[in-house]
Amino acid sequence: MAQHLFDLTGKKAIVTGGGRNLGKGIAEGLLQAGAEVVLLDISTDIGRTAEEMGKSGGHRAHGVQCDLTERGQLPQAFDEAVRLLGGRLDILFNNAGMHDRRACLDLPVESWDRVIELNLNAVYQLCQLAGRLMVAQGSGKIVNTGSMLSFIGGYNATAYAASKGAIAQLTKSLSNEWAASGVQVNAIAPGYMDTDMNADLKKDPVRYPQVSARIPAGRWGTLQDLHGIAVFLSSRASDYVTGTVIPVDGGIFGQMISISPVNNTLTTQK
């Protein structure tokens, strides 16, 4: 019986940023569990990527090209994704995001706006669009991609940290609104993952060894490390799990945060 709880056969899903990096790992997990998936991605080759992923995953995948920082494109792209899925949506995985590692004093407000637009505003709009469908049908799973910076401030990450902190609160707020309607809203908080977004960090001769030494698992995360959590939060196995932000980080969050026995406050470990 427990195995059936994780079966996504017949489920309809949208994964934003699903063509590469974390989104690809998420989409792979959903496809392997039986879901039909639309990859909503800025890449002009997303259709071909989806076709290849569908073949390897054994289930149908579609690609819809969209720049989620352009508000005018987003509703039409969402409607097209739902149409490709036969008019139903069971799972929305908001994963698309960007980072600008410049220090605050060097970060133009235009760059701040672009990060917030993709990492937060587009997520809100997609949650709203999906929520209308899911609340009406009485079921659904929304999973947002946060970060370790949903909990801590990070370094040279003002816009990114602000957006990911807001994702945690948005997730909790929507969960409060929609849990009684059968819609679960959760978030994952990936740690240091071996993706293109972190390529510059991995090339840093000072920070890379410092970061690597802080991961209790002894390695950076891979796309395969997202398969299990993606399937869990998208399946019936998580029907009583909502409003959570779950670290997927090789244990680094447990190392960084501790509870003070004196005043019950959170303290960050250096």
160 as an active site residue: the answer is: yes
Tell me which residue of 55, 62, 73, 58 sits closest to 18, measured CA to CA. 62
Q: For the range 208-212, what are the long-range contacts, defined as Cβ-Cβ under 8 Å and sequence gap of 24 or more?
A: none
Q: Where exactly are the structural domains of the chain?
A: 2-198+221-251
Identify any residues that bridge with 159 across adjacent strands, giving them in sequence order.
none
Q: What is the Cβ-side half-sphere exposure of residue 99, based on CA atoms within 13 angstroms?
A: 19
| Residue 38 near residue 90, CB atoms below 8 Å | no
| Residue 174 near residue 124, CB atoms below 8 Å | no
Can you tell me the mean pLDDT for 227-244?
Answer: 97
Q: Does the domain spanning 2-198+221-251 belong to CATH 3.40.50.720?
A: yes
DSSP 193: B
List, for residues 173-232, the tens digit of each pLDDT value.
Answer: 999 999 999 999 999 999 999 887 788 887 888 888 888 888 999 999 999 999 999 999
List, for residues 110-161, the tens digit of each pLDDT value.
Answer: 999 999 999 999 999 999 999 999 999 999 999 999 999 999 898 889 999 9
Residue 203: its pLDDT value, please?
Answer: 85
State how far the Cα of 169 lies from the Cα of 243, in Å rounded to an integer. 9
Lowest-pLDDT range, 2-16, 48-62, 212-226?
A: 48-62
Quote the distance between the C-alpha of residue 135 and its chain's center: 21
Structure tokens at 85: 């899925």
Choosing from 155, 160, 208, 240, which is the catalytic residue?
Answer: 160
Whole-model pTM above 0.75?
Answer: yes
